[in-house]
Amino acid sequence: MTPGDRKRTFVGLAFISPWLLGFLVFTAYPVCASLYYSFCDYDVLSRPVWVGLLNYQDMVSDGVFWQSVRNTLEFNLMALPLGLVSALTLALLLNQPVRMRGTFRAIYYLPSLVPAVAGAMVWLWILNGRLGLLNQALEALGVSSPPQWLVDPKWTKPSLALVSLWGCGNTVVIYLAALQGVPQSLLEASMIDGASAMRRLVHVTLPAISPVIYFNLLIGIIGGLQVFTSAFIMMGGAGPERSVLFYAIYIYQNAFEYRHMGYASAMAWVLCMLILVLTLLASRISRRFVHYQG
């Protein structure tokens, strides 16, 4: 290293020093500590006690843990495709030469900005079994005994999927920006070749935006596995028959309600590994479907 190199490195490090410091204190240390705690019995109040793999073994035999895994997967298998397909559909509609595109886009986008607490309150009221808007509408349409959305364990997950669908505007805007970047020349060429609108969509538009579809899918998986707030607020935690006891909620309960911080940390690490595996899997699969231009 020349003295000039050294000085430049010094200046560079000085500029990124806030992050570097924060990284050490708020990321690197907690990551290492939580890995250590995951092998400990720990309640924050006293020192952690090493218990080896006990927390991980407990997980295998903990029925509630498995229920939280099932709940989380079931919810995401419902909410994720629903959200991605609806958002893409809305974006495709908005990408047509329509008037008032900005207004429509604003309307679709706004709910995704709403504070989760406030959104949860509004949906508690809409989904209320006897007085809620949804059931009164269903009754007016002739459904004699509409579902008890928030009380019947069969319906709690679909209810939350509906709530998350209301917030898909964020994804709509991302898709729309991608759609507007699809090269016009490609679309025109296929039109001259006589391709129908459907064929243009499947063979030109979708491949062209496939990196963004992939991005949204990844973000969706990572966020979906950590779903917490709306379920926690609307159902007061686990919900009827623990039907919305999601993985992140169970971690929270173990950490801050039962003070099983070691167990909570072990669960968090399993989540981390799961996300890693799913991400790798998605990138493996995506190689066949995602086309990067240039």
Partner 1 sequence: MAKASKLLIYALLVAGAALFVLPFAWMVLTALKPIDQTLSRPHEWLPRRFEAALAGQVLEVHPGGPVTEPSLWVLQSGVRRPVVVSEASVWDGLWHPAIGAPVPVQLLKRVPASVSQPWIEVSDLSGQATDVIKASSLRSRVSFRWENFPLAIRSMRHFSRYLANTLILCLLNVMGTVLSSAMVAYGFSRLEWRGREWLFGLLLSTMMIPFPVVMVPLYGLFRSLGMVGTLQPLWVGSFFANAFSVFLLRQFFRTIPRDLSEAARIDGCGEFRIFWQIILPLCTPALIVVGLFTFLGAWNDYLGPLIYLTDERDFTLALGLDAIKSSESGATEWPYLMAASTLIILPVIALFFVAQRRFVEGIALTGIKG
Q: Measured over all CA atoms, what is the biggest interatomic distance in the chain, rounded to whole angstroms?
A: 82
For the packed helices 133-140 and 116-126, what is the interaxial angle rounded to 10 degrees?
30
Q: Which is nearer to partner 1, 3 or 18 (CB)?
A: 18
Single residue of 109, 138, 158, 286 touching partner 1 by CB under 8 A: 109
User: Does 16 help bind partner 1 (rule: CB under 8 A)?
Assistant: yes
> Between 71 and 100, how does the x/- string for binding to partner 1 read (CB under 8 A)?
-------------------x--xx-xxx--
User: Does 285 help bind partner 1 (rule: CB under 8 A)?
Assistant: no
Bridge partners, 40 (sequence order): 50
Nearest 5 degrees, angle CA 268-CA 270-CA 274? 115
Single residue of 3, 52, 140, 141 touching partner 1 by CB under 8 A: 140
Single residue of 3, 11, 144, 288 touching partner 1 by CB under 8 A: 11
Tokens of 248: 């992140």
User: Does 198 help bind partner 1 (rule: CB under 8 A)?
Assistant: no
User: Does 125 help bind partner 1 (rule: CB under 8 A)?
Assistant: yes
DSSP characters over 64-123:
HHHHHHHHHHHHHHHHHHHHHHHHHHHHHHHTSS-TTHHHHHHHHHGGGGS-HHHHHHHH
Q: Which stretch binds partner 1 (CB under 8 A): 77-85, 148-156, 244-252, 280-288?
A: 244-252
Tokens of 42: 């720990």
Q: Which is nearer to partner 1, 97 or 194 (CB)?
A: 97
> Between 39 and 58, how does the x/- string for binding to partner 1 read (CB under 8 A)?
---x-x--------------
Please tell me what DSSP assigns to residue 44. Answer: S
